[in-house]
Amino acid sequence: MQFPVNYRTLAALCLTLSLGQLSAATLQRLSLDEMIGKSTAIVRGKVASSYSAAAGPIVYTHYVVQVSERYKGGAGNTVDVAIPGGMLNGLRQTFAGTPSFNTGEEYVFFLWTGKSGVTQVIGLTQGLFAVAGDGSSDPMVTRAASRELLLDGATGKPVPAERMSMRASELRWRIAKTLGGAQ
């Protein structure tokens, strides 16, 4: 038995579904322990400057971070963090789920460096904690709840995004405990 096909309706449905995918990202939810284990570096630092560069057809915004504390990974006073998207030669690219930073603001970055040598925030916004600028010796660090669809890694089912907030000393302790004292 054949059903008549309304090609205009089918085309409109396909277009609608594809446009919906352009404005959203789907991510595997990472626990704090998973981010600690999978990160190649974890640093606390302030965004010092930024610049844009292309890698093939993709524009990246690179943020130079002045490191004040290093919880995991090699030495160095700065780290270059690349985020997909940005403005280069009059071309603006945007990608759903990518974090944005402001010069002078302080964060804890959970970073991952791939085979290409490009360092990025792990899990996009999941691997970024804002450090409260209240002058405290033990400030709060907060990760906002992701606005992107998160999936459970074991079941593949959607899970709620959660805000996470703790003192910097507690985060430092969790990292050290998870790494077993080794870096």
CATH of the domain at 105: 2.40.50
Record the pTM: 0.81
Q: b vs e for 30-69, b when ≥16 Cβ sit within 10 Å of the residue's Cβ?
A: bebebbbeebebbbbbbbeebebeeeeeebbbbbbbebee
Residue 19 three-state SS = helix
30 in any annotated domain: yes
Q: Compute the distance between CA of residue 124 and CA of residue 154 in angstroms, rounded to an integer.
A: 20
> Residue 73 is which amino acid?
G
Q: Compute the distance between CA of residue 168 and CA of residue 98 in angstroms, rounded to an integer.
A: 23
7 in any annotated domain: no
> Residue 107 is which amino acid?
Y
Overall domain count for the chain: 1
pLDDT one digit per residue (tens) for the chain, 183 residues = 554 544 444 333 333 333 333 445 667 878 899 999 999 999 999 999 999 999 989 999 999 999 999 999 988 999 999 999 999 999 899 998 899 889 999 999 999 999 989 999 998 899 999 999 888 999 999 998 877 777 877 888 888 878 999 999 999 999 999 999 655
Q: Compute the distance between CA of residue 83 and CA of residue 94 in angstroms, rounded to an integer.
A: 10
19 in any annotated domain: no
Q: Which structural domain, as residue segments, surrounds residue 112?
A: 24-179
Quote the pLDDT of residue 182: 53
